[in-house]
Amino acid sequence: MDVEIIETKEMYRGFFRLFKVLLRYRRFDGQMSGTIALEALERGEGVAIILYDPLKDYVGLVQQFRIGAHLRENKGWVIELAAGSCQGHADVKAVALKEVREETGWSPSVLEHVNTFYISPSGTTERIHLFLGIFDSKIPPSATGVREEEEDIRTLCLPFQEVLDMMVRGEINAASVILGMQWLQLNREALRRRFLAP
């Protein structure tokens, strides 16, 4: 489909950038649309890691303060997958490994790319690279985030079914966890066969 960018204007620059874009695009009927003004938040690329112990059937998660959740419903302490920003780094797998180590202290024995998805393509450019990280839940977590960034992270290690139950009760409502757990639910038995094979 054809898209004609008429003007791009930066409206804000901070940790994120906000752009206002004037454009036209070819509609499904073949005609060009009128000029449309859209806004897009430039967030770059990120990683999120499903930490799974197939032997114990446990999932590793993190909990930390998130301003968006706090402003929306005064519930800022969000349970999430270990995650982080790529900040221009091309090697997303290396970023995923770094983020897991910084946020939890765990070092996955296996780290595999699962999928790449847009968080909210109607208003942000952010893409998330989702990884599976196989870890040993018997090893206690040893990290709580990067002090220089004022990160304060609590690490959680929970049975797979308990995480699903928390999602059903609305105690876990971050999109990355929901997507990651749904992927894990579809692939869990195959993963257990693969990693528990003698």
Q: Could you tell me if 185 and 191 are in contact, meaning their C-beta atoms sit under 8 angstroms apart?
A: no
Average pLDDT over residues 68-92: 90
Same domain, 36 and 127: no
Q: Which pTM value belongs to this model? A: 0.91
Same domain, 26 and 98: no
Instruction: Give, to the nearest 10 degrees, the angle between helix 160-168 and helix 175-196.
Output: 160
Q: Could you tell me if 60 and 104 are in contact, meaning their C-beta atoms sit under 8 angstroms apart?
A: yes
Same domain, 35 and 56: no
Same domain, 37 and 82: no
Same domain, 112 and 135: yes
Same domain, 62 and 99: yes
Cα Dmax for the chain = 63
Same domain, 59 and 108: yes
Does the pLDDT of residue 89 top 90, yes or no?
Answer: no
Same domain, 157 and 91: yes
Q: Could you tell me if 25 and 2 are in contact, meaning their C-beta atoms sit under 8 angstroms apart?
A: yes
Helices marked H in 41-159: 67-73, 92-104
Number of independent structural domains in the chain: 2
- Looking up residue 90, the CATH number of its domain turns out to be 3.90.79.10
Does the pLDDT of residue 71 top 90, yes or no?
Answer: yes
Of 10, 149, 151, 189, the catalytic one is 149
Q: Could you tell me if 23 and 4 are in contact, meaning their C-beta atoms sit under 8 angstroms apart?
A: yes
Domain range holding 23? Answer: 3-42
Q: 149 an active-site residue? A: yes
- The number of CA neighbours under 13 Å toward the Cβ of 183 is 22
Q: What is the pLDDT of residues 95-133, one digit of tens each?
A: 999 999 999 999 999 999 999 999 899 999 999 999 999
CB atoms within 10 A of CB 102: 17
Same domain, 81 and 21: no
Same domain, 123 and 28: no
Same domain, 50 and 21: no
Residue type present at position 165: D
Per-residue confidence band for 144, with pLDDT thresholds at 50, 70 and 90 = confident
Helix, strand, coil shares, percent, the chain, to 5: 25, 40, 35
Same domain, 66 and 129: yes
Per-residue confidence band for 90, with pLDDT thresholds at 50, 70 and 90 = confident
